[in-house]
A and B are shown apart, each in its own frame.
Chain A
Amino acid sequence: MAMEGIFTGIAASMRELLAGAPPWLENLSMGFLYLVGVLAFIFLNALYLIYLERKISAYMQQRIGPNRLGPHGLLQSVADAVKLLGKEDIIPRGADKWVFLIAPILIFIPATMLYAVIPFGKGMIAADLNIGVFYFLAVASTTTIAILMGGWSSNNKYTLLGSMRSVAQMVSYEIPLTFSVLGVVMLAGSLQTSQIVMAQEKVWYVLLQPVAFIIFFIAATAEVNRAPFDLVEGEQELIAGPYTEYTGMRFALFYSSEYANLVSVSALAVTLFLGGWHGPWLPSWLWFVIKLYIMIFIFMWVRWTFPRIRIDHLLSFNWKVLLPLSLANILVTGVGIKIYQLLTLGRW
């Protein structure tokens, strides 16, 4: 199993290289190494998920999709990225300049920070916080602030409406998202992502928490603003939502952090429900990546299958269906655990 240790080996040799250095320097450079790895992962994913999304949507609609640049159009996203790099920088006349400029930077920060607690493989986690899941949910919700900043500062009615919708969506879907995770936390008895993965060695939590998984999936779709919950940037009504006035690299930052959020939410779903990096024969990180892309594919499949739903339906579905369901799930999980404890341990 030489494949298993590729990434942990790099980290170990880096630590060896820094053996004589003071501990703060060692930690600093290790953190830097993790950061570089995560950033490479984010950018590669953003580039190729856009390509993948276009291809998948094309095949689902019986089209061909991008096929001109490179074999099967593989270089299309690279060309798009290069094009965006060279684009003019337009700040609309009426915009609130500083807020407008800061928003794309602010949206990229949580997108990066989310990856710190994702266990990519055995021992492959940047910061194994003991409040990992809680940290993830807390940081993920701050994305909305950047979207609101961008939408408000553009001084454009469409962007303002889009960002207000994004707040409405966050305010609603945050609750079932956090509640659906609670069932997993109760089973694992820990918020640490690595511990939760370890607890799933025998059985994946998707089997013990099927309802929670479905709630998590629906709420996560709303959280990353994807169809059928993409009211934030519904193209037919709001042009591009909060991103309408953004050009060039600023737009690219918004766009790539959107895909980065998609990947991190899928990664959290894999970590919490699909057994993380557990799996036979193949190296652990490869298992993680395989499960991750299956999750992402399902997200895309849903996006290109369901029509967008109306905002009042969206909110009432959340408050009248998902929230009671997730509360009931906590209750049922609690009763289940207590009965299991009584049967196996003989105490409550």
Chain B
Amino acid sequence: MLQQYGIIAIFLIGGALTAIAALLVNWIIRPKLPPVGSKLNTYECGLETQGPTWIQFKVSYFLYALVFLLFDVETVFLYPWAVRFQVLGLFAFIEMIIFISILVIGLWYAWKEGALKWQ
């Protein structure tokens, strides 16, 4: 088992090294003069950029993100259950139906309260 995670680690490091190698080749081949002037401007369709970009603004999907968190945690419970589903018997199935229906009620409530509406 540990060997397989070793291979995953090789893929992780290998992916990073490949990307770095590609950038290195780019660095060797490309023109050495550093770009100057308006090449370094922010590209916003040829117009001068207006005001700062890194400001506080409203993220309209904030409530979606909260509901997402709920269901993402639910998947953590659902996956082990799904793997053993055929062995576990009827009781576990009914338990999971109750668990899911509680979450569905939560979803229905969020829906009713307008959390699933883009504002």
A residues lining the B interface (CB < 8 Å): 27-28, 30-32, 34-35, 38-39, 84-94, 104-105, 108-113, 115-116, 126-130, 134-135, 152, 154-158, 160, 164, 167-168, 171-172, 174-175, 178-179, 182, 185-186, 189-191, 239, 244-245, 248-250, 252-253, 311-312, 315-316, 319-320, 323-324, 327, 330-331, 334, 337-338, 341, 347-348
Contact = CB atoms under 8 A, between A and B. Distances in A.
Contacts of A92: 40-43
A312 B64 contact: no
Interface residues of B, number: 65
Given A88-B31, A157-B53, A330-B100, A312 B118 contact: yes
A152 B54 CA distance: 8
Contacts of B79: 134, 182, 185, 191
A171 B22 contact: no
B38 to A, nearest CB: 10
Interface centre among B71, B75, B83, B96 (most CB of A within 10 A): B83
Given A127-B7, A160-B53, A85 B25 contact: yes
B16 A108 contact: yes
15 contacts: A85-B26, A91-B40, A92-B41, A94-B53, A155-B53, A157-B44, A157-B53, A172-B64, A179-B75, A189-B86, A189-B87, A191-B79, A191-B83, A239-B43, A316-B117
Cβ-closest 10 pairs across A and B: A112-B15, A312-B118, A249-B26, A31-B10, A348-B90, A108-B19, A109-B15, A127-B7, A127-B4, A31-B7
A27 B82 contact: no
Contacts of A171: 61, 64-65, 68
B109 interface: no
Given A88-B31, A171-B68, 10 more contacts: A93-B40, A126-B7, A126-B11, A174-B68, A189-B84, A239-B43, A244-B43, A315-B61, A315-B64, A319-B64
Which of B4, B10, B65 lies at the interface centre, i.e. has the most chain A CB atoms within 10 A of its CB?
A: B10
Contacts of A27: 3, 6-7
Contacts of B90: 338, 348
Contacts of B85: 186, 189, 334, 337
A331 B30 contact: no
A20 to B, nearest CB: 18
A343 B65 CA distance: 43
A126 B6 CA distance: 11
A316 B63 CA distance: 12
A205 B86 CA distance: 16
B6 A31 contact: yes
Contacts of B14: 32, 35, 39, 112
B64 A86 contact: no
B19 A253 contact: yes
A185 B75 CA distance: 12
B7 to A, nearest CB: 4
Contacts of A134: 79
Contacts of A93: 40-42
Nearest to A177: B75
A319 B63 CA distance: 12
A141 B20 CA distance: 22
Contact of A90 (B4, B10, B35, B104): B35
